[in-house]
Structure 1
Amino acid sequence: MKIGLVVMDEDPADALKVARAADRAGVHSLWSIDYYNRSSLVRASAFAAVCERAIVGTSVTPLFARSPLALACAASDIQAIAGGRFVLGVGSSTRRMNQDWYGTALQHPGPQAKERIELIRRLIAHRGGPFEHDGRFDHVTIAHYERPDLPDSVPILAAGVGEHMVGVAGQCADGFVGHTIASADYLRDVARPLLAKGAEKANRDVSRLRMTTQIVASADDDPATARRDAAAQVGFYATPKGYDALFPDGRFSTERADARDAVRNGDVDGVVAAGEAMIQERAVYGTPDDVADQLRRYADVVDWALLYPPHYGVEPERVHANEMRLIEVASAWT
């Protein structure tokens, strides 16, 4: 298992400092996120420009916030900047985010995601001449298309939670990205079989697919502080009903409802209290040695573990300090 770091600083200048430090330390991979206040693609291109060794990826870029052509062009450009070290991680995002943030309808997420991933791959591979795609969801017509000198392939990882989206990753992506609060048991016992089922449906070899996951990771010399920050993030991410598949048989339903109410009321302490019950199996936290020890439960489950620093209810200075400690964990991992 290789250990990467999701760089969470809100200030992109601070994020670049973290990326440089992680690359110098030998961290396997560096990842950006997309959110209402940051662009995963812009940040990934900046990481690629300042890093010499680390794989650079997006974890994840919303598939429907940008047009297929815009995504394909950006991914190809970043791959050129990175010299082949770029990985495009994509996901459908939640229905609320698509409708309220991006103004995009999410009607049939599985088929819609599959078509778009395949279309992005075709656009990146196309060297020149007319291009046309008339699909169920996407329509692209380009009379003259020339990109002969840019990379013609980019690995694409697809995020998913439920049966349909994990299956899509198996059918058409180069690998899978587990959700930030997916437990090791869920990844092993639910996601892996669904990924294999999707691969079989498309006559693909599942052993060739990369299994990755984000993991809430909080390292501090004070274990209580690390635990509190991890609980805040787990509690916050447990709130969407779209993530019910991560909690089979109604597991933690009371805590999730409490967290939902607390988020609605701006009660960070309430979110922390709700998250406390879930963190033992859905986060790694404590001293750097504690984090490294807890990571071992994922070692036989995923190929790449992406450490995700908590940011909900966490001061920017603590986010940054946590990242520097996680660089120690990632660079020392064997």
Structure 2
Amino acid sequence: MSTTENGADSGGRLTFGVSVFGETLAATMRLAAAADAAGLDAVWTSEFYTRSGGISLAAMATATERCRLGSSIMYGIGRSPLVLATDARDLDELSGGRMVLGLGNGTRTMIRDWHGQDPDAPAVRMEELVPLVRRIWRLHEGPVSHDGRFYHVNIKPVGPVAPPQRESIPIVIAGVRPRMVRAAGEVADGLAGHPLMTVKYAQEVVRPALEEGAMRAGRDLANFEVASMVITALHPDVGQARREAAAQIAFYSSVKTYDVILDVCGFTAEGEKIREAFGRRDMAAMVAAVSDDMIDAMSVTGSTPEEIRDGLKRYEGVIDHAMMYTPSIASSPERVEENTSSLIAASDVITAP
């Protein structure tokens, strides 16, 4: 199901947003304001070891007025359930009820080496985390006590707790492998798909896994939003756009975790070449190993807004919301901002029926 800026039914049509990851917070705010003014449904941001998703969302909230604001993703693994709930509450208040909380773990290596946490059973951890964040969101209803496998919480307010601005906040889970996607179907309000996710993977792996999770939980997916980042490059020289997309695809394909997408889509051989080149830290060889078929399946590129529009049409009826995601690997910060700005400026054409 597709949603509009504050989660209302959009009639089943594909909605569009843009992923913003500016070199500076000023750039992030500038791009978010432009996307909001252009009428895009949502602006999304992420985080890495150089940028906080929460701070970026706060900055974007002050620069926008109407669009949804989402994290795609914030690390659930590195924050306690209480910190996640209180950060989300503040961000939702700051944005006037426009926040979408997107959570992810990253790879097992990231869980272990970046956050110093137990990398075992990441989907089980997420299945425990999301309902707990929701309970803490409703702390005004009473104390929260939880003794689980990963989280141990006993919160007893010392006085009355004011209710949050909204009864609930949409929570989406970033998922790639079927087990995590199933977790999203079981406990979340939506799925944030990986930039490598293709139409084939969404149809053959993601949708069945979501349905399995929903069935296990006794839920239906009528109000569930399937969103995905889509690597999108607009440049007058379409060859340049395709090279930029190939670099981003190569970067992600070097990660063993994402093999499942490559295998389902028939790109196993390319993946092996990319990882071999990555082992030598040979970026040029990594990009060269990305086939034209991979670029066509895993990105949308073009020299005109009309070509971008036509490329995105393949996602209609497959996902609910497309996040246009600017490739950044091997691109300068100036080019990243230029591409994002171009997509925003052309959004009236790109999003036209």
Give the match's secondary structure for 1:208: coil
Which amino acid in 1 is paired with 2:203? R
Residues 1:81 and 2:94 are matched in the alignment: yes
Give the count of matched residue pairs. 334
Matched residue, 1:181: 196
The residue number in structure 1 matching 2:320 is 303
RMSD over aligned Cα atoms: 1.6
- Alignment partner of 1:237 out of 241, 252, 258: 252
Give the C-alpha shift of residue 129 in structure 1. Answer: 4.7
Per-residue CA deviations over 1:9-43 (Å, capped at 9, x if unaligned) read 22111111111111111111100101111111111
Q: 1:295 & 1:41 partners in 2: Cα distance?
A: 29
Alpha-carbon distance between aligned partners in 2 of 1:119 and 1:180, rounded to the nearest angstrom? 28
Quote how far apart the aligned CAs of 1:143 are.
3.0
Give the structure 1 partner of residue 5 of structure 2: none
What is the Cα deviation at residue 128 of structure 1?
Answer: 5.8
Is the Cα–Cα contact under 8 Å of residues 10 and 38 in structure 1 kept in the other structure? no
Deviation for aligned residue 1:276: 3.6
Question: Any conservation in 1 of the 2:259–2:268 contact (CA below 8 Å)?
Answer: no
Q: Which residue is 2:237 aligned to?
A: 222
Contact map agreement 1:76 1:153 (CA 8 A) in 2:
no
| Structure 2 Cα separation of the partners of residues 105 and 247 of structure 1 | 27
Name the residue aligned to 1:252. Answer: 267
Q: Is the 8 A contact 2:200 2:265 kept in 1?
A: no
1:48 aligns with 2:61: yes
Q: How does 1:86-101 map to 2 (within 5 A)?
A: 86-101=99-114
Task: Report which stretch shifted further, 147-156 or 89-98.
Answer: 147-156
1:7 equivalent to 2:20? Answer yes
Paired residue for 1:267, among 282, 294, 297? 282
Q: Matched residue of 2:329: which SS?
A: coil
How far the C-alpha of 1:250 sits from its partner, in A, is: 8.1
Query: Any conservation in 2 of the 1:292–1:329 contact (CA below 8 Å)?
Result: no
CA contact (8 A) 2:105 2:122 kept: yes
Partner of 2:118: 105
Q: Does 1:190 align with 2:205?
A: yes
TM-score when normalising by structure 1: 0.95
Q: Shift of residue 130 of structure 1?
A: 3.2
Aligned-pair identity in percent equals: 37
1:267-305 deviations in Å (ceiling 9; x for gaps): 322222122441110100122222111000001111110
Aligned mates of 1:87, 1:240 — CA distance in 2:
27
Aligned-pair CA distance for 1:68: 1.1
Q: 1:181 to 1:297 in 2, by over 3 A?
A: same
User: What secondary structure sits across from 1:294 in the alignment?
Assistant: helix
Cα distance in 1 for partners of 2:323, 2:112 equals 28
The answer for the alignment partner of 2:4 in structure 1 is none
Distance (Å, rounded) in 2 between the aligned partners of 1:50 and 1:68: 27
Q: 2: CA distance between counterparts of 1:329 and 1:169?
A: 32
Q: Deviations over 1:135-185 (max 9, x none)?
A: 121001223265414334210011111221111111110011111111011
Stretches of structure 1 that go unaligned for 5 or more consecutive residues are: none
Match of 2:335 in 1: 318
Cα separation, 2, equivalents of 1:248 and 1:128: 47
Q: Any idea what SS the aligned residue of 2:290 has?
A: helix
TM-score by length of 2: 0.90
Q: Which runs of 5+ in 2 are unaligned?
A: 1-13
Checking the alignment, whether the CA contact within 8 Å between 2:62 and 2:94 is kept in structure 1 is yes
Answer whether contact 2:198 2:297 (CA < 8 A) is retained. yes
For the 8 Å contact 1:128–1:148, the answer to whether it is kept is: no
- Asked whether the equivalents of residues 16 and 322 of structure 2 are also in contact (C-alpha less than 8 Å), the reply is yes
